[in-house]
Amino acid sequence: MISQLIEKIQKTKAPVCVGLDPMLSYIPEHITKKALNDHGETLEGAAEAVWQFNKEIIDHTYDLIPAVKPQIAMYEQFGIEGLSVYKRTVDYCRQKGLIVIGDVKRGDIGSTSAAYATGHLGHVQVGSRALSGLGADFMTVNPYFGTDGVKPFVDVCNQEDKGLFVLVKTSNPSSGEFQDKLIDGRPLYELVAEKVVEWGNASMDGDYSNVGAVVGATYPEMSRILRKLMPKTYFLVPGYGAQGGTAEDLKPCFNQDGLGAIVNSSRGIIAAYKQEKYAAFGAEHFGEASRQAVADMVADINRVL
Amino acid sequence: MISQLIEKIQKTKAPVCVGLDPMLSYIPEHITKKALNDHGETLEGAAEAVWQFNKEIIDHTYDLIPAVKPQIAMYEQFGIEGLSVYKRTVDYCRQKGLIVIGDVKRGDIGSTSAAYATGHLGHVQVGSRALSGLGADFMTVNPYFGTDGVKPFVDVCNQEDKGLFVLVKTSNPSSGEFQDKLIDGRPLYELVAEKVVEWGNASMDGDYSNVGAVVGATYPEMSRILRKLMPKTYFLVPGYGAQGGTAEDLKPCFNQDGLGAIVNSSRGIIAAYKQEKYAAFGAEHFGEASRQAVADMVADINRVL
């Protein structure tokens, strides 16, 4: 699966993914108004607004990018109706040829992780049929349970040619509270990184492993060390743009070959029309604002590579 | 919320919760057969089997127990159809007067955690209405992101009188890989425990905080230390029974007042009819086998308290 992602990154010359993390506050009024008029002030109405918003952004950006990363929390907040739109978004993106990274950060004991892996990436056996649940290409995984909590995800990846990004160093301000704590003189995130390499060794797919890592853009000095520790691990890099990470901060996430990282931007793309820079598009043309924001992001990142 | 849970524990004299973690392999053939006959070998058919299985177990145990803990992964594996049955199970249990602990182990950066908290415990604003998504009473939370990733869950608990159980020391064999690593001579899980106390200080509800902890039954010597470190923190204790924890192992999780912990059993209850001990009930009467297994578990735990 990682080789497919790399191929798409090379084809689009865009090591970026668009975070489809729709808050109602990002959605232009004309869309929300219509959805709530049609469906009432209900979860169904909110979910319909999210879907119309997503579709417009996908339609305006899919040819520029290799991948999208829907954040499932933004759908879960609207209950089953929201989750149905998560699934609809995943399916639509895949139809458009995009790689879908389900940003779900699941993780549990072995048998439970196996169920998550099945639901998000694999197939569940029902009678004589093997059925797909949520059907993403990659998912993000939380490593707190250790090897037996992560291994079932790796197993499903190996069976189904799918991929993971395991949390190593996250982009948020408190990430250091546990992740940076020193163990025998080295931060916890380095230990996690070594485990990610170990977990991914039997999942090579070309030059990189299907088991990747989440490494926040907001800590470039740590990215440099992690890049060396995990030479064959692809990085999913959140934190660019709205969270404060700059293109220069991203550089250490990449290898000499210009590969090794895919940078996510959510708010900076999907709510671009709300920025002064793109205000001229107007809320009615928010999809075009997002398209321009993608083009600008790609240029910004390629400038430093 | 924790005071409501304690009240129900005292009323039922049962510091236990039933883990509603339905694998298809646990469900008696007569249920699966009917569901797949009616709905085909589809996700809908599988979900219907899960629902019928859950309902029978709830109907046979709800008067003996204070709470249930559905593991959402077991529903996610069946996609949206499975998640709809998760929601239906949560609603049904609450109608039956049970406290529902959504075992979802979510955790992310702040704004994302806020969306998860809203979806699982809170209300999302849609136009002029505040709507409930998945509607549990408690949820489990992963602390890897640190304070700013956990705080939004605590905020929703404080606003809505709900509760959390934050992962501290999990019950699985590899849990020590990161959780036991020494930081300045003390294991990571103790640092997490201290943070849980800090996060819960402003969420007191009677003698205990609405911010609880997950502490596995399989490591009793660690439970003893954690009980002292977190005197006002309720423990959700997985690992009893099928995972190897005994009643004696659980004792250190409780305070002198006989409170302080609620012990979960999943497979040991819901698949009781498959054990030799309860085989006489037969697969047709699996609900009665589960009822007997609950009674036996309660007696076993009360014996050591």
Query: What pLDDT, in 10s, does the model give residues B222-261?
Result: 999 999 999 999 999 998 987 788 999 999 999 998 999 9
Asked if A179 lies within 8 A of B146 by C-beta distance, the reply is yes
Structural domain range at position A291? 2-304
**Count of domains observed in chain B:** 1
Long-range contacts of the stretch B3-8 (C-beta < 8 A, 24+)? B3/B205, B3/B206, B3/B208, B4/B99, B4/B137, B5/B66, B5/B67, B5/B99, B5/B137, B5/B138, B5/B163, B5/B234, B5/B262, B6/B206, B6/B207, B6/B208, B6/B234, B6/B259, B8/B66, B8/B67, B8/B97, B8/B99
CB atoms within 10 A of CB A132: 17
Q: For the segment B70-105, what is each residue's pLDDT rounded down to a tens digit? A: 999 999 999 999 999 999 999 999 999 999 999 999
Which B positions 265-304 lie with beta carbon below 8 A of chain A? none
Residue B105 annotated as catalytic: yes
Q: Which residues of A touch B184 (CB under 8 A)?
A: 182
Q: Report the interhelical angle of B188-200 vs B147-160 (nearest 10°).
A: 30
**What is the per-residue pLDDT for A226?**
97
Report the chain A residue with the minimal C-alpha distance to residue B177: A146
**B141, part of any domain:** yes
Residues of A with catalytic annotation?
Answer: 105
Hey, of A144, A165, A168, which one would you mutate to test binding to chain B, going by the most B CBs within 10 A of its CB?
Answer: A144
Asked if A43 lies within 8 A of B124 by C-beta distance, the reply is yes
- Please state, in angstroms and rounded to a whole number, the distance separating the CA atoms of residues B303 and A129: 46
CATH number (domain holding residue A274): 3.20.20.70
**What is the per-residue pLDDT for A194?**
98
Predicted structure pTM score:
0.98
Hey, of B83, B141, B180, which one would you mutate to test binding to chain A, going by the most A CBs within 10 A of its CB?
Answer: B83
Per-residue pLDDT of chain A (305 residues), as tens digits, is: 999 999 999 999 999 999 999 999 999 999 999 999 999 999 999 999 999 999 999 999 999 999 999 999 999 999 999 999 999 999 999 999 999 999 999 999 999 999 999 999 999 999 999 999 999 999 999 999 999 999 999 999 999 999 999 999 999 999 999 999 999 999 999 999 999 999 999 999 999 999 999 999 888 999 999 999 999 999 999 989 877 889 999 999 999 989 999 999 999 999 999 999 999 999 999 999 999 999 999 999 999 98
Q: Which residues of B touch A102 (CB under 8 A)?
A: none
Asked if A109 lies within 8 A of B171 by C-beta distance, the reply is yes
Q: State the smallest CA–CA distance between residue B225 and chain A in angstroms.
A: 19
Question: What is the widest separation between alpha-carbon atoms in chain A?
Answer: 60
